[in-house]
Amino acid sequence: MDGFTLFPPPSFWDNWLSFWRFEDINVLWVLMGSILLGMSASVIGGFAFLRKRSLIGDALAHAALPGVMMAFLLFQTRDPLIIFIGALCSSFIGFFLIDWLPKNTKIKADTALAITLSFFFAIGLMLLSYIQGLEVSNKSGLDNILFGQAAAMTEEDIQLLTYVTLFTLITVVLFFQKFRLIAFNQDFARTIGMAVHRYELLLALLIVMSVVVGLQLVGVVLMAAILLTPIAAARFWSNQLSHILIIASMLGALSAIISTQLSYLAPAMPTGPWMVVSLSVLFILSLLFAPKKGLVKRYFEFQALRQQVAEENILRTLYKLLERKEFMHNHFTQADIQSFRNMPSSCLQSTLKQLGKKGLIKASTQGVQLTQSGLERATQLTRRHRLWENYLNQQAKLLPEQVHQQAERIEHILTDAQEAQLQRELSNSQSDPHGNAIPTTHKADKTQDAISSTSNTRGGENFD
């Protein structure tokens, strides 16, 4: 493997420059064609994905192979239109077989997909090997459609590609509302009198056409990824279908540019695999770093939530300690807290530090002490906890022993409005099922007065 370099450096840059200067006008056309294909395949793949038929593209692309070979065998020509029509026919037969098998036999849908895919592919390969044994002209290059070869595309190929992809994109834009309705709620579409079947057929036609026209560029074997990966990646970026489809088409176009370029720089290299690899990289980046649903973002959100829960748990513990001392004494050591809430010391210390920074507690010689704002927050949390316990006890008829665990979770996420609603709906909002008083928050400042002067005995009564 020593001394092996993929591209000799100088000629690589020369090639790259000449690619982007479009010295060969054909390059520009191939680039345009592949961008259009990337866009239309991603958009139409989006609808297949929403219909939960993500791998339909895989099966249809494989199913196109015998059609290509048959068309060549019958007409002895490489005319793109004839090949296209042949592929379209066999792809459609495959489409109906996938539909027919699970409906009429015991065979399950996923098995039907695998059967169609491999059976048609085998027919295609058998015909290809048969053709290669024949004495016919221009048979070489027929196998380019297996892995795709952008550089081998002719002008007529590109013309056809452009027409078909533009047709697909325009149709999707025109019928966007209808397709969306079918994708999300077919029953509803049927009840409002839509000809669902007709639109389904149109959608199928578009899928088959996009798959078939992309074979030259991407190849039979990997066509699945071009339909599937962009939409899966785009889903992490938005929740709105139109945005998702636009992002998916951008990703498709980007990977088309990258792979077409590579196909020109290294002519022996098939285009399809590079397109898949670049799409997969885009997918992984989206999975990790998408702003709302990316894994990194979700991880940080999760950590923040955990931090919040830990802080609020300490506040509640302090409140309970305070309650036990009947609000006479507002200094607690870490051991006091740990006796109430099982928590490792390191975690406790860091959480206490955070609480101190937020001004919710302050450290004193005897330990920690709730500040006024800390007490307010702690009271509010306790109030929500106990209100919820009451709610579960009264409305959901849970036993007092069962309510604590659930309240422990819900106290962190209840809102003011929900709190007020609970207050209104509960007949007894003075004490929780365990007999503890439910504190009220607007008295918090009074309570604070009571606590700050530890000699004042009125403190406890305020909480009745």
Partner 1 sequence: MINDIWILATASLVAAACALVGVFLILRRQALMGDAISHSVLLGIVLAYLITDSRALPVMLGGAVLIGLLTAWLSDSLHRIGKLQNDASIGIVFTLFFAIGVILVSLYTGQIDLDQECILYGEIAFIPFDTLTIGGGGNIADGFEIGPRAFWSIAIVFMIVLISILITFHRLQTVAFHPNLALSLGINTVFWHYFLMTLVSMTTVASFDAVGAILVVALLVIPASSAYLVAKSLKGMLWSAIAYSQTSVAIGYTLAYQLDSAISASISVSAGLLLLLTILILEIQKKRTHNLQKAS
Site of interaction with partner 1 (CB under 8 A) = 1, 6, 49, 52, 54-55, 58, 104-108, 110-111, 113-115, 117-119, 121-123, 125-130, 133, 143, 146-147, 221-222, 224-225, 228-229, 232, 235-236, 268-270, 272-274, 276-277, 280, 283, 287, 295
CA–CA dist 220, 153 (Å, integer): 15
Q: Which is nearer to partner 1, 292 or 358 (CB)?
A: 292
In the complex, least distance from residue 144 CB atom to partner 1, rounded to whole angstroms: 10
Shortest distance (Å) from residue 21 CB to partner 1 = 27
CB 202, min distance to partner 1, A: 23
- Which CB atom, from 121 or from 332, has the smaller least distance to partner 1? 121
- 207 or 224: whose CB is closer to partner 1? 224
Minimum distance from residue 301 beta carbon to partner 1 (Å): 14
Q: Which residue is it, tokens 């039907």?
A: 112
C-beta closer to partner 1: residue 108 or 358: 108
CB of 31 to partner 1, least distance (A): 20
In the complex, the smallest distance separating the C-beta of residue 94 from partner 1, rounded to whole angstroms, is 12
Query: Of 29 and 283, which CB lies nearer to partner 1 in the complex structure?
Result: 283
Of 145 and 403, nearer to partner 1 (C-beta) is: 145
**CB neighbours of 316 closer than 8 A, spacing ≥ 6?**
378, 381, 382, 385, 411
CB 258, min distance to partner 1, A: 13
Min dist CB 72 to partner 1, Å, is: 15
